[in-house]
A and B are shown apart, each in its own frame.
Chain A
Amino acid sequence: DAKTTQPNSMESNEEEPVHLPCNHSTISGTDYIHWYRQLPSQGPEYVIHGLTSNVNNRMASLAIAEDRKSSTLILHRATLRDAAVYYCILPLNSNSGYALNFGKGTSLLVTP
């Protein structure tokens, strides 16, 4: 299974952009890159996913390197509510499902 590597923690000021990096050097050609986040005492929340092209949605943007060995989740203006653990995941693509195995993620601290 392809693995991902993320920094343990990052800090940002409120209303500034945040770039959360993820390395996945053993990614295969068919692996999608998913991002989820988890707030304290809550279940994970889907953020965004992509394969090759950069992706945007109302929550964030995902920039994928041309060789796909790394990606960056971009929060355009961090708010206090964005403080969470962010997980970069390559789903386990079995014949019948896309199970997620979460690593330790990046703990994002947002300061006023």
Chain B
Amino acid sequence: NAGVMQNPRHLVRRRGQEARLRCSPVKGHSHVYWYRQLPEEGLKFMVYLQKENIIDESGMPKERFSAEFPKEGPSILRIQQVVRGDSAAYFCASSPQQGNQPQHFGDGTRLSIL
């Protein structure tokens, strides 16, 4: 079985552009988490989604960031009007069900803002 797939692995954007990060969870997993890792820091939770629903977005910045997990297709983390401070590694994780389950992580998208 394929694990969590994230693409692109590396993304370069200029200030003011939009960044779209994609995450395909493990087949059969309906729960997706997005995390951000700044240099020299641990991962920080951003948002938790189930199919077609945002369950918990308490870790998301209030502006410019949005996430979705449609019925068909990958989960998308969208960052509008990027700024230099958005440069980070963004990780997606999935789990098969709600509750205290291990999360399976992708290898991340490294976003660089010029």
A interface with B by C-beta (< 8 Å):
32, 34, 41-46, 49, 87, 91-94, 96-105
A contact residues around B100 at 8 Å (CB): 32, 49, 91, 93, 98
Q: How far is the CB of A99 from chain B (nearest CB, A)?
A: 4
Among the 9-residue stretches B13-21, B67-75, B78-86, B103-111, the one with 4 or more Cβ atoms under 8 Å from chain A is: B103-111
User: Assuming A43-B91, A102-B43, what are 20 further A-B pairs, CB within 8 angstroms?
Assistant: A41-B107, A43-B4, A43-B107, A44-B103, A46-B103, A93-B100, A94-B48, A94-B58, A96-B48, A96-B56, A96-B98, A97-B55, A98-B100, A99-B59, A100-B45, A100-B93, A102-B42, A102-B44, A103-B42, A104-B42
Check if A49 sits within 8 Å of B108, measured CB to CB.
no
B interface with A by C-beta (< 8 Å):
4, 31, 33, 35, 37, 41-45, 48, 55-56, 58-59, 91, 93, 98-108
Check if A97 sits within 8 Å of B106, measured CB to CB.
no
Q: How many A-B residue pairs have CB under 8 A?
A: 67
Closest partner residue, chain B, to A87 (CB atom): B42
A contact residues around B42 at 8 Å (CB): 87, 101-105
Closest partner residue, chain B, to A42 (CB atom): B107
Known contacts A96-B48, A99-B33: A104-B91 contact under CB 8 Å: no
Report the bound CA distance from A91 to B37 in whole Å.
Answer: 17
Report the bound CA distance from A96 to B103 in whole Å.
Answer: 15
Closest partner residue, chain B, to A46 (CB atom): B102
Check if B43 sits within 8 Å of A99, measured CB to CB.
no
Known contacts A96-B56, A100-B35: A45-B45 contact under CB 8 Å: no
Check if B105 sits within 8 Å of A45, measured CB to CB.
yes
Q: How far is the CB of B9 from chain A (nearest CB, A)?
A: 9
B contact residues around A91 at 8 Å (CB): 100
